[in-house]
Amino acid sequence: MQTYDIDFINTAASTVDYNAQADEIIAAEGDPTDQLVAQFVSEYKLQSASADNIGGLIVYTREDTVVAVYDYETFVGWVV
C-alpha cells in the first residue's frame, strides 16, 4: 500500500467545499459522491493525475507528488 504525506489535511483549511452542492444533490437525486468527485477532477484539471482511493479520501499525484486530496465523505478538498 502506498503511503502519502497528507498530514496537512488535519490542520490546513480545505480549499474546496462542496457541502452546499452536496445538500442540493442529496435532496434532488440521492448520493452526490460520483458527481462531486468528477467535478473536483474537472475543476482542478486532475484528469492526468493518478488517483488513489484510500478509503474516504482520494489522493491525486503527479510524478509521486501529492497535488490534491478530496474527502468524499465530507465533500471537501485540498489543492496543493
What is the tens place of the pLDDT at every residue in 19-37?
999 999 999 999 999 999 9
Single pTM value for the model: 0.93
pLDDT for residue 1 is more than 70: no
Residue from 61, 53, 63 nearest 80 by CA? 61
CB atoms under 10 Å from CB of 34, counted, come to: 9
Cβ-based neighbours of 26, under 8 Å, separated by 6 or more: 32
Q: Residue 40: which pLDDT band, with cuts at 50, 70 and 90?
A: very high
Kindly list the domain boundaries of the chain, sorted by start residue. 7-79
- pLDDT number for residue 2: 84
Helix (H, G, I), strand (E, B) or coil at 80: coil
**Mean pLDDT, residues 45-70 taken together:** 96
Q: What is the mean pLDDT of the chain?
A: 95
